[in-house]
Structure 1
């Protein structure tokens, strides 16, 4: 899952709108704080009678909190959690089907078959490549995952640990088909043997690459595009031999205290209005007809990104998480 800062924040909207609150909803989210602020500014205008309380947690802390509170959930909804975490059977058991005018219009691949989740957004694995650092070392720009297995890149790669980083697990599970592909497992383990530093988060490799400490960082596209926007000598490479990606799911709690209000809010998060805001932060936006912005395309995202994403078995990836990570650790010792 995409890395998130280890912070929590609560945002309440509605009372400030100068209207009597007709409802209230408590939402747990692993989205970034700046995203939440942007989205909720629009949500309070669309739903002025709704008091929306958002508790922002890192992805790992969010999963842990849901499990700790499972006997008596304190939230009504989940907003923006990696689907491979959300489909942990212990968390999936806390959810109930959710429908809505906007939710039901989303493409089927971005909704759970049992309607227990939907994913308006997602993120894509990418390489952050420091052109200057590569040139100093006399190395070519890698274009594929297979390129990263070359001995020439030994010690030149920073990569996140799949045990601590959602991005790391995204790469491992995507490229190995949740461990079912022997070829894919051989690929990811060969890359691991060239890694010079293993990081705890998915954004850290890109940060190391942009300052030249390592010329290549295995990260995610938003981090790469952010580095480019900030003026670092970084090129974003989307490997041409396999797309690693994760969806950010939202869901309704089975025991939601404010069921109707939670449904209203969740359906808004799947609206075209929300989708227009997601494009400022996300590589993958599920709204029909959505495509990367012109800036994102200039930085390397394909215009037909969503259409070219391979199918992923998120249920399998969730179920096999612990076993797959343990297997990977054994193979990369």
Structure 2
């Protein structure tokens, strides 16, 4: 009888303590390159003992997933990817407000992202938009060296340019919003229609075009410049270009998902990801973005923002739900729908 009572008590204890067994786990939605995502998971698990289930998708795909799961959230943290969809997620109430103890250590642009999102997101890195080209293919095809956005719409580059689809890729949406801010909307869409004639493929992932260029599948890939640097560092014949007219940039961001099942673990990861020692490790994964913590050491290969002609990118406006949806709809109707 005593043994039976003890077993019954143990069973009740297990049932009562059931939620505690869920502690020490976390689900991470990750939008930068796979290698960096894996490095972050490995280091966080090693330091905290918290087990991380990680899914890697582009910014646009991740935003769509979080929106689809809003009534039954499955993720805890969304780490990385362009800041525009993070701002849209904040606006739509899909993410939680949180202020890290490391906020004061961050660059102004990262803190501004936190303020613009009503504390529901924060900047973790920055990267300038541009393009890269395969030097060997350029020479083989007898093409002139492209230095400006205007070069990419020249007839000789027909079928030689690749970029992502802005509906799925934060990189490509940054390209769309950059053109509008750089040229004005009417001229920007005229440009994008002309560029469409030279595009050989719209990829799902923002970094895919430069990987294709590195493999000799396309001559030019429109990407964030740090992604082109990654290919060059690995030995690919890629030349990185910061367009002569000027260009936009991203504030790669991080957000805690509204209704996160593992909120305390999510906050631990959030603080972990903002530390200078963790951000400095990015170079180990061949990630060459500019880190948001002022005490972090940028990789020497990272593009120098002081040497890039950056526009005054309006993150608040172009990260808003209405503006994003309007521009994407217009791009679908006026650009993507046109024959090539």
Q: Say whether the fold is shared (TM-score over 0.5).
A: yes
Q: Check if 1:269 corresponds to 2:270.
A: no
Q: Check if 1:317 corresponds to 2:319.
A: yes
Q: What TM-score does the superposition give when structure 2 sets the normalisation length?
A: 0.77
Q: Aligned partners of 2:272 and 2:114: how far apart in 1?
A: 18
Q: Are the equivalent residues in 2 in contact too, given 1:83–1:314 (CA < 8 A)?
A: no
Return the offset for 1:192. Answer: 2.3
Q: Are the equivalent residues in 2 in contact too, given 1:119–1:249 (CA < 8 A)?
A: yes
Superposed, 1:209-228 pairs within 5 Å as 209-228=213-232
Q: Aligned partners of 1:303 and 1:68: how far apart in 2?
A: 36
Query: 2:36 matched to which residue of 1?
Result: 35
Q: Aligned partners of 1:148 and 1:195: how far apart in 2?
A: 9
Runs of 4+ in 1 over 6 A off after TM superposition: none
Superposed, 1:162-311 pairs within 5 Å as 162-177=166-181, 181-279=185-283, 280-288=286-294, 292-296=298-302, 301-302=303-304, 304=306, 310-311=312-313
Q: Check if 1:56 corresponds to 2:58.
A: no
Q: Aligned partners of 2:263 and 2:208: how far apart in 1?
A: 38
Q: Deviations over 1:264-285 (max 9, x none)?
A: 3211111111110124413232
Q: Aligned partners of 1:306 and 1:39: how far apart in 2?
A: 29
Q: Aligned partners of 2:182 and 2:69: how far apart in 1?
A: 29
The counterpart of 1:128, out of the listed 127, 132, 141, is: 132
Q: What TM-score does the superposition give when structure 1 sets the normalisation length?
A: 0.78
Q: Are the equivalent residues in 2 in contact too, given 1:170–1:246 (CA < 8 A)?
A: yes
Q: Are the equivalent residues in 2 in contact too, given 1:27–1:75 (CA < 8 A)?
A: yes
Q: Aligned partners of 1:133 and 1:306: how far apart in 2?
A: 25
Q: Aligned partners of 1:286 and 1:90: how far apart in 2?
A: 20
Return the offset for 1:172. Answer: 1.0
Query: 2:96 matched to which residue of 1?
Result: 96
Q: Aligned partners of 2:80 and 2:65: how far apart in 1?
A: 15
Return the offset for 1:81. Answer: 4.0
Q: Deviations over 1:204-240 (max 9, x none)?
A: 3223323434322222334322322332222111213
Q: 1:70 to 1:329 in 2, by over 3 A?
A: closer
Return the offset for 1:38. Answer: 1.7
Instruction: Specify every segment of 5 or more residues in structure 2 that has no aligned partner in the other structure, as ranges.
Output: 1-20
The number of residue pairs the alignment matches comes to 308
Q: Are the equivalent residues in 2 in contact too, given 1:159–1:199 (CA < 8 A)?
A: yes
Of 154-163 and 84-93, the range deviating more from structure 2? 84-93
Instruction: Specify every segment of 5 or more residues in structure 1 that has no aligned partner in the other structure, as ranges.
Output: 1-20
Return the offset for 1:287. Answer: 1.7
Question: Secondary structure of the equivalent of 1:120?
Answer: strand
Of 217-226 and 127-136, the range deviating more from structure 2? 217-226
